Amino acid sequence: MRKFKSNKNIVFSCIYHVVWVTKYRKKYLEGNIEKRLKEICREVSEESGFEIKEMECDKNHIHLLVECDPQFGIHKAIKRMKGRSSRLMRDEFEILRQRLPTL
């Protein structure tokens, strides 16, 4: 198992533990909503070129262990995951649109 990754000009091993919480800590992340959130996060990571090492949901938050290129930036990775997941999940699940202004 390789500890380090590299691109054209750097060698890196940047692993971040990210926790993000639903608005007002509402307990909506269970069942189909949890499955869909995990699918969306995996899709975004494959498209954007970063890796999700671990991912676990509780009823009101999600834990992610993310490895990404420092030149890409963890802020861009999280911004893409949160933006796309909020938009798609609010379109698919009526309860999220009715009860929460945003995710």
* CATH value at residue 51: 3.30.70.1290
2 is a domain residue: no
The predicted structure's pLDDT at residue 65: 96
Q: 101: pLDDT confidence band, cut at 50, 70 and 90? A: confident
Is the residue at 47 inside a domain? Answer: yes
Q: What would the mean pLDDT of 7-24 be, rounded to a whole number?
A: 88
How far lies 39's CA from each of 5, 48, 75, 81, 98, in Å?
A: 25, 14, 20, 11, 23
* Total domain count, the chain: 1
Average pLDDT over residues 43-68: 94
The kind and range of the H/E element at 43 are helix 32-48
Read off the pLDDT of each residue in 90-94 and give the average, rounded to a whole number: 91
Give a yes or no: residue 1 inside a domain: no
Residue 62, domain extent:
7-99
